């Protein structure tokens, strides 16, 4: 058997002590996640997070730093995820834009609201990425290297 983790990107965006999150349906449940999704063929990691954030929230995202790279295995089905988490800024919201299938809405919640409410997070990565961001963990985007479309 060949092990192939799913490569995903996620955005941690803070504004007025609240984080941009999405309420979505996953595995028959309503959960909270960062704007996140799979890397697609032919795109860079930065392009992927810009696209995913817009598709899931209708906000234009500009990445400014990396928060971390996380490997997580789903306890029920053993699917592995390699998540590259970015931070950055959002502007130019387009509320008339149709959101991705499965996304119910985008919302802004504080960390405390997320922990003390009835919201269920999609995975432990949601809180971990926020906590790493809050602790000041950031790495320059220059760490990312893309060798796509090189003629050599």
pTM of the model: 0.92
Q: What is the pLDDT of residues 21-80, one digit of tens each?
A: 999 998 889 999 999 999 999 999 999 999 999 999 999 999 999 999 999 999 888 899
Domain 6-143 coded CATH 3.55.40.10: no
Q: What is the pLDDT of residues 100-138, one digit of tens each?
A: 999 999 999 999 999 987 889 999 999 999 999 999 999
C-alpha angle with apex 108: 104 to 110, nearest 5 degrees?
Answer: 130
């Amino acid at each position: 058997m060949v092990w192939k983790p799913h490569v995903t990107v996620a955005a941690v965006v803070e504004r007025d002590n609240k984080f941009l999150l999405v309420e979505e349906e996953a595995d028959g449940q309503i959960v909270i996640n960062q704007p996140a999704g799979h890397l697609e063929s032919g795109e860079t990691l930065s392009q992927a997070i810009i696209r995913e954030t817009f598709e899931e929230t209708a906000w234009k995202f500009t990445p400014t730093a990396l928060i971390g790279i996380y490997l997580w295995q789903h306890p029920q089905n053993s699917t592995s995820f390699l998540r590259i988490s970015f931070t950055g800024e959002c502007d130019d919201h387009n509320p008339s834009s149709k959101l991705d299938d499965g996304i119910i809405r985008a919302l802004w919640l504080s960390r405390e609201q997320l922990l003390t409410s009835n919201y269920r997070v999609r995975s432990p990565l949601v809180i971990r990425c926020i906590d790493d961001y809050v602790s000041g963990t950031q790495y320059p985007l220059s760490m990312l290297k893309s060798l796509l479309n090189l003629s050599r």
